Amino acid sequence: MKHILTISSPDAQGIIAKVATILSAHHLNIEKNDEHVDLQKHHFFMRTEFSGECQIQDLLREIKDSLSPQSQVHIKKEEKKSIIILCTKENHCLGDLLLRYESGELNAHIQAIISNHTILQSLSEKFEIPFFHVDSQHLSREEHEAEILKITQNFSPDLLVLAKYMRILTPNFVSHFPNQIINIHHSFLPAFIGANPYKQAYERGVKIIGATAHFVNDHLDEGPIIVQDIIHIDHSYSWQDMQRAGRDVEKVVLARGLNLVLQDRVFVFENKTIIF
């Protein structure tokens, strides 16, 4: 049985040695270890893959007792996480995730797809994924989100994935999923925040366009960034050309960011991420 240990802690001498000693005493084998120290914040991060049989709660308590009380320590079995995908009308990100899921490339179980339109229902049904339509036109924002919460509570997903879900979530909704909502933004944040980023980029005369996968927080498009990538363009691109080209990078960045989170490789610290 393989497990993943993650530690976020005020930096101190000997943390790696302490943890390695405890794991060895429990006859566990370290297969991979990554660590990083934020020298400005004096903060330590570690991700360890280990194998062997253990009592997780006993091991967790022993490691916590050896570290600072401010430390955050988690031990998880290496297993597939469950996700729910939210979408609106655009199919490129959803379709890409579904193809990766069918081929086994996406290390997750897609429990359901929720949308405020029915346009993507037929696509979802092709992959035999439950589809829920929550109409946003005849409900208030609060009522709409309450309906979505009812659905998610029936599944208890590990993550929500916004695959071009074109609605702003309220702080109340986000509070139910701290650092558990992943969004793809069709821009190289922090530039061109909000709607119509390709028009903004075209008017600015940019020479690169990109996409950003990030966690969702209470501030629009300002959550901790997970992955970013770009493609090069030139003066001959209209904003519609830029939009078409941007869709390719959007779906790749979303899939890459999601897989990093699914593998417990992403640490959120303040408003940024450390990724192993």
- CATH number for the domain running over 2-77: 3.30.70.260
Q: Inform me whether the pLDDT recorded for 6 exceeds 90.
A: yes
Distance CA 230, CA 260 (A): 18
Query: Is residue 169 predicted with pLDDT exceeding 90?
Result: yes
- Predicted pLDDT at 42: 97
Question: Tens digits of per-residue pLDDT, 171-185?
Answer: 999 999 999 999 998
Distances (CA, A) of 184 to 39, 73, 164: 30, 28, 7
Structure confidence at residue 33 as a pLDDT band (50, 70, 90): very high
pLDDT band, residue 189 (cuts 50/70/90): low
Q: What percent of the chain has pLDDT over 70?
A: 96
- Cis before residue 10, ω within 30 degrees of 0? no
Q: Per-residue b/e over 181-200, b at no fewer than 16 CB within 10 Å?
A: bbbbbbbbbeebeeeebbeb
Q: Is the pLDDT of residue 137 over 80?
A: yes
Element (H, E) at 174: helix 171-175
pLDDT at 133: 97
Say whether pLDDT at 147 is over 90: yes
Q: Are 48 and 5 in contact (CB under 8 A)?
A: yes
pLDDT at 209: 83
Span 137-147, average pLDDT: 91
What band does 40 get if pLDDT is binned at 50, 70 and 90?
very high
Q: Which amino acid is at 10?
A: P
Residue with tokens 């729910």: 84
Lowest mean pLDDT among 104-113, 243-252, 262-271: 243-252
Q: Is 221 a catalytic residue?
A: yes
Q: Using a CB cutoff of 8 Å and minimum separation of 24, what contacts does 188-197 make?
A: 188/212, 188/228, 188/230, 189/214, 189/221, 189/222, 189/225, 189/228, 190/221, 190/222, 193/220, 193/221, 193/222, 194/220, 194/221
pLDDT at 106: 94
Q: Enumerate the CATH 3.30.70.260 domain ranges in the chain, comma separated.
A: 2-77
Specify the range with the lowest mean pLDDT, choosing from 12-16, 242-246, 260-264: 242-246
- Looking at 11-90, which runs of residues are DSSP E strands? 29-38, 43-51, 72-77, 81-87
pLDDT band at 210 (very low <50, low <70, confident <90, very high): confident
Q: Is the pLDDT of residue 60 over 60?
A: yes
pLDDT at 221: 74
pLDDT above 80: residue 197: no
Overall average pLDDT of the 138-145 stretch: 90
Superfamily of domain 82-275: Formyl transferase, N-terminal domain (3.40.50.170)
| Edge-to-edge strands, sheet with 181-185 | 131-133, 108-115, 81-87, 159-162, 181-185, 208-215, 225-232
Write out the two tokens for 96. 């890409």
Look at the block and give the residue holding tokens 């439950």: 130
Which residues in the chain are classed under CATH 3.40.50.170?
82-275
Separation between Cα atoms, residue 84 and residue 112, nearest integer Å: 5
H-run or E-run covering 246: helix 239-262
Question: Which residue among 11, 58, 221, 241 is the active-site one?
Answer: 221
Q: How far apart are CA 9 and CA 32, in angstroms?
A: 19
